[in-house]
A and B are shown apart, each in its own frame.
Chain A
């Protein structure tokens, strides 16, 4: 098994882990403590004190806040309860015209906006780009991931979620 210490995990998160070590992680059996160590590193970096229950994306976390499970950005901005798609609280830029698509793509490398649009979901707190959707016009907003946090902690990790007590 290839394990990472805290510094190694920080390097993994930052994309700085040397290739030989990274290759070892890919080829080896997994370290079961990875999740807990990951939460520890991310919690220490967080600009909020609420306990992280799950990392959701590069910028988003599910945290326990005021007795609720909410989605927050690492800048601290809250994007609503876990039960609701966080995209409803984001700001959205829809690239649905040739002009908007050609701001970032060559005219021959872009999609045809009549067939497909790009939706860019941004955090209203820090304006980081959180997700991009490439879908036809009129497509329902994707609910990328609805984690079952209690099942994860209880069934997969064998303990209750931190906000559910021991």
Chain B
């Protein structure tokens, strides 16, 4: 029988409910525009050094928790790539401080906590010290089922004073197909194991029935179990650090500090906008193809999709920030739907890399970043019955637009060093699973080396080569040897830069790369993957920079690789040029080569080859202005082929005694020829306008393009009116 007269019990009884506190917090923010109505940062004003010391200790505890806990995991995705993060939240669920890692989830966990509060979890099932909660439902804050959240409440003298959350990306989530980003699911019931803000532990222990259920719900229970222990350990490290802080600073100080830190994060964000951007309207649009008409397994999914993400960023005269995707295309019978929480998480992760990457990085920036993701579209799908297994496929390209918009502002202010034209698509995640030669050992193919694509060009330099992931600022491809330890039937023959993947420009995008995989020692194996193929990912670069190259797929079955190895003959390491393939030159077999990035599950056998390709980033500025010496370096490093240097940059590279060199005279002539070609071919705006308009009026567009326009016009009256007005089309015009 609990002691209802103890000081802590009395205090808890006198404390308003979490639901009341959340409502009050939101009310005060709505009234004052300040977090919980805090206008003045009193603690910071009274003793700045103490305030910053507490912040540093808190941040240190979170980073340390991640660095320590990841060693508990056995999954290379967590242990080597670091797809893990921790965050501390106020009792109302607003993030105060975050670790490093996959910090897109800092805000998504906030949504999960608030969901539990709003649903009255405090009464039923009750929130007590020692509870452990789990969530991975995209419509309750998460991005996709594969990202699993562990959340614990932190109590002090009987009062809930904070929450700590940790997210780790799973090797497998028990979806309809093995892997972490399915392409074949058409509804919720194929997304895999769903955990909907569930109490999975109490008294600081996981429930036995939960452990049994979870281990039987995924294909890789060993990785699941260790990932969960890793998340729990990290949460407790942070909770203990918070307790030590309360012991040294006092509960009243720490509680007030958490609130002020969120408000400071909000204020800092607005100050950054005024410091680095220019008021006005920024506009762009992003796209990606998912041709499914001839691939999808479900009748309702057999349609070619073109995702539309119009993006309008408005910076007000007072520095107000507002981003809208009004006009986005509709939801899909495919796993590419995104919940509002996942879009908010993505917005947060990008602004914390571009505008507010230092200082108090927390939900204050989220509060200050106004946004609109229209309900009923792919970017705020709302319907929990839809599939949300791979929202990244649409979300990643859509947010390239935000970087293009911000870069225009940075340029105008003179802060060219902050410009980033976008990023490569962290796609082509080779996925699937198989059984080894013993006929019983399952191995997952759940590769995460895609966490290292090309960054877009900067305003002062080329983009980083093979070194960026929009959702995890600590990009890392991981060691090939480590991937082989879990993907035991799929060996690496190579990893190297993929020529011509970097977007052209005065400053080029970061280069993409390729890995040639060899199937060996399996009794069965299925593989699948996705990327863009019919479109360029996202959009173009800025100021004349081109998009990075689109993806394609190539694999070879029934090869003679075993004979080549036995005869000690050369084997391929990829293909520098898809049109002149080293693979096809050296290996005999049945080649599949398609101009598409989307690949549904296919069966593979021993000796087969599969080429994984990772995206480059978009470019900046006119490619004809690129320094020819930089192009020579690109050719030497196989970032570009010599023929690409000539046709895209007008630089003639010749083989000299010391390697590639510029033919200066030929380059001058070639660049002049390309400029003259522009002059000879380019048409006036009026001619262009009439041609495009006539095409629309004739309806001379393929079905996915028509579908995209039709959906955007019907889902947003404003976007539709703008479209018709721009082309001077009748009010009745439809597709």
Contacts and interface: CB of A to CB of B under 8 A. Distances in A.
Interface of A: 9, 12-13, 15, 17, 22, 25-26, 30, 32, 34-35, 37-39, 54-59, 87-94, 103-112, 114-116, 118-120, 122, 124, 127-148, 151-152, 154-156
A107 B507 contact: no
Nearest to A88: B685
B544 A15 contact: no
B543 A58 contact: yes
B705 A111 contact: no
A25 B544 CA distance: 25
B550 A114 contact: no
B550 to A, nearest CB: 5
A137 B695 contact: yes
Nearest to A103: B647
B163 interface: no
Given A114-B702, A114-B705, A156-B278, A130 B544 contact: yes
A90 B687 CA distance: 12
Interface string B478-508: 0000000000000000000000110010110
B506 A58 contact: yes
B544 A152 contact: no
Contacts of B274: 156
Given A91-B683, A145-B405, 10 more contacts: A12-B416, A57-B542, A109-B500, A111-B534, A122-B678, A130-B544, A133-B539, A148-B280, A151-B316, A152-B280
10 contacts: A34-B414, A91-B679, A111-B535, A116-B534, A118-B546, A131-B542, A133-B539, A136-B306, A140-B722, A140-B723
B708 interface: yes
A135 B414 contact: no
A70 B665 CA distance: 37
B287 A116 contact: yes
A111 B622 contact: no
B550 A110 contact: yes
Contacts of B295: none
Nearest to A62: B412
A148 to B, nearest CB: 4
Contacts of A34: 413-415
B284 A142 contact: yes
Given A15-B507, A127-B678, A145 B289 contact: no
A115 B623 contact: no
A106 B460 contact: no
B287 A108 contact: no
Contacts of B709: 138
Contacts of A26: 417-418
Contacts of B506: 15, 58
B206 interface: no
Contacts of A87: 685
Contact of A127 (B275, B621, B647, B675): B675
A19 B598 CA distance: 39
B572 interface: no
Nearest to B274: A156
B461 interface: yes
Contacts of B696: 138
A76 to B, nearest CB: 17
B681 A93 contact: yes
B579 A107 contact: yes
State the 4 A-B residue pairs at the shortest beta-carbon distance, nearest first: A38-B414, A91-B682, A109-B549, A108-B578
B653 interface: no
Contacts of B414: 9, 34-35, 37-39, 55
A87 B174 CA distance: 50
B659 interface: no
A22 B544 contact: no
A120 B552 contact: no
A117 B306 CA distance: 14
A65 B174 CA distance: 65
A57 B461 contact: no
Given A12-B460, A58-B544, A140-B722, A134 B500 contact: no
B536 interface: yes
A144 B539 contact: no
A143 B685 CA distance: 14
Contacts of B549: 105-106, 109-110
B279 A148 contact: yes
A91 B683 CA distance: 5
A153 B704 CA distance: 44
A116 B620 CA distance: 20
Given A37-B414, A114-B705, A116-B535, A128 B579 contact: no
A140 B726 contact: yes
B317 A151 contact: yes
B642 interface: no
Contacts of A12: 416-417, 460
Interface in B692-710: 692, 695-696, 701-702, 704-705, 708-709
Contacts of A127: 675-676, 678-679
A17 B416 CA distance: 11
Contacts of A108: 552, 578-579, 593, 595
Contacts of B723: 140
B595 A144 contact: no
A112 B319 contact: no
Contacts of A116: 287, 289, 534-536
Contacts of A118: 536, 540, 546-547
Given A55-B411, A109-B550, A115 B678 contact: no
A145 B408 contact: yes
A101 B415 CA distance: 33
B461 A22 contact: yes
A32 B595 CA distance: 49
Contact of B685 (A9, A92, A140): A92
Contacts of B461: 15, 22
Nearest to A16: B460
A104 B287 contact: no
Contacts of B415: 30, 34
Contacts of B679: 91, 122, 127
B692 A136 contact: no
Contacts of A141: 726
A117 B513 CA distance: 25
Of B317, B538, B692, which is in contact with the most chain A CB atoms at under 10 Å from its CB? B692
A132 B578 contact: no
A115 B289 contact: yes
A55 B507 CA distance: 19
B648 interface: yes
A54 B678 CA distance: 27
Contacts of B317: 148, 151, 154-155
Given A17-B460, A89-B685, A142-B284, A109 B578 contact: yes
Given A91-B682, A107-B595, A132 B541 contact: yes
Nearest to A104: B648
B501 A92 contact: no
B253 interface: no
Contact of B540 (A122, A133, A138): A133
Nearest to A24: B417
B354 to A, nearest CB: 11
A129 B504 CA distance: 12
B234 interface: no
Nearest to A143: B283
Contacts of A132: 540-541, 544-547
A25 B416 CA distance: 10
Nearest to A89: B685
A68 B623 CA distance: 32
B595 A106 contact: no
Contacts of B569: none
B334 to A, nearest CB: 17
Contacts of B275: 30, 32
A143 B533 CA distance: 26
